[in-house]
Structure 1
Amino acid sequence: MSVSFKLLPEAVATARLENKQQVLERIAQLFAERYGLDANAALDGLEEREALGSTGFGRGVAIPHARSKAVNRPTVVVLKLDAPVEFDAADGMPVDVVFGMLSPENAGATHLHALAALSRLVRDDAMHQALADAPDGEALFALLSNQLERDAA
């Protein structure tokens, strides 16, 4: 099954943040700025999910995610951090690449497939290194859009 993500070039950014809370707040802010979503609602959803257990995936990557009435397909923002932050990841490593994802409220399988696609993406060693080496948001978007299009084909 292919997964269709909504990822705009301007929804990929770099930032210098101090902690997990600032990361979640910046992710929510990106959803508001780039997709016109309510930042507080996005933050509430992300924090609610994070309270169930860290979305720190491991290998320096986190995938905070939530359900939202405001989207009709999995919608993604990406943050590359200038310096890693603690995220309570499964492997204990701080994170420096963060994929924020909002999925429709009733998108059970679609939400899980989208999470799995992001997970596969960051488990790929070459892609993981390319993400780490990307100098800016534009380079990150180019990498991700090429890979996501290839996976959807």
Structure 2
Amino acid sequence: MSDTSLTIETILSPELTLCRVAASSKKRVLEFIAELVNQQDATLSETQIFNNLISRERLGSTGIGQGIAIPHCRLEGLDRVIGVLLTLEDGVSFDAIDNQPVDLVFALIVPKEATSEHLELLSQLAEKFNDRNFCEQLRQCSDAPALFSRMTQSGD
């Protein structure tokens, strides 16, 4: 397996894919992501992840419009990329560029020494989320397995 190219399929796990999460604020969404990642890997600090996500948001919202946010951060001591996919029960204010509430969140936590591969991954995500039909399908998923399988299917 010399091919190390990162794809959504390789970084997202069913355990980190959740449907219709109840969250009242952007801060709560980011806390939830940090808790979730820490539950999957206790060596990763929940506080550190949350703080790093918040710091990144301070530079500018990761709400990319049309109800979608791609919060991301780098994490010291991480050896792989972790993806977290959530749909939210109700849209939350995310300071998005179009000021629309966000209900579709894909978080990306990458190693401190992130490479161009990680940027490539962000652009893959942005491209997928640019497709309104695709986003609608994600929003209509009523359980995590359906959401996971929809997100990781390649092609259309």
Same fold per TM (> 0.5)?
yes
1:40 maps to what in 2?
A: 47
Deviation of the 1:129 alpha carbon: 1.3
2:14 maps to what in 1?
A: 9
Q: How many residues align?
A: 149
Task: Judge conservation of contact 2:68–2:105 (CA < 8 Å) in 1.
Answer: yes
**Correspondence 1:131 to 2:134:** no
Q: State the distance in 2 between where 1:33 and 1:115 align.
A: 24
Q: State the distance in 2 between where 1:114 and 1:102 align.
A: 11
TM-score, reference length from structure 2: 0.88
Correspondence for 2:92 among 85, 94, 101 = 85
Deviates more, 1:16-25 or 1:101-110: 101-110
Q: State the distance in 2 between where 1:86 and 1:136 align.
A: 23
2:121 maps to what in 1?
A: 114
Q: State the distance in 1 between where 2:77 and 2:12 align.
A: 15
**Percent of aligned positions with the same letter in both sequences?**
36
2:35 maps to what in 1?
A: 29
2:82 maps to what in 1?
A: 75
1:60 maps to what in 2?
A: 67
Task: Judge conservation of contact 1:63–1:99 (CA < 8 Å) in 2.
Answer: yes
Structure 2 gap ranges (5+): none
Q: State the distance in 2 between where 1:35 and 1:8 align.
A: 12
Deviates more, 1:70-79 or 1:121-130: 70-79
Q: CA RMSD in A?
A: 1.8
Deviation of the 1:35 alpha carbon: 3.4
Q: State the distance in 1 between where 2:86 and 2:101 align.
A: 14
1:45 aligned partner, one-letter code: N
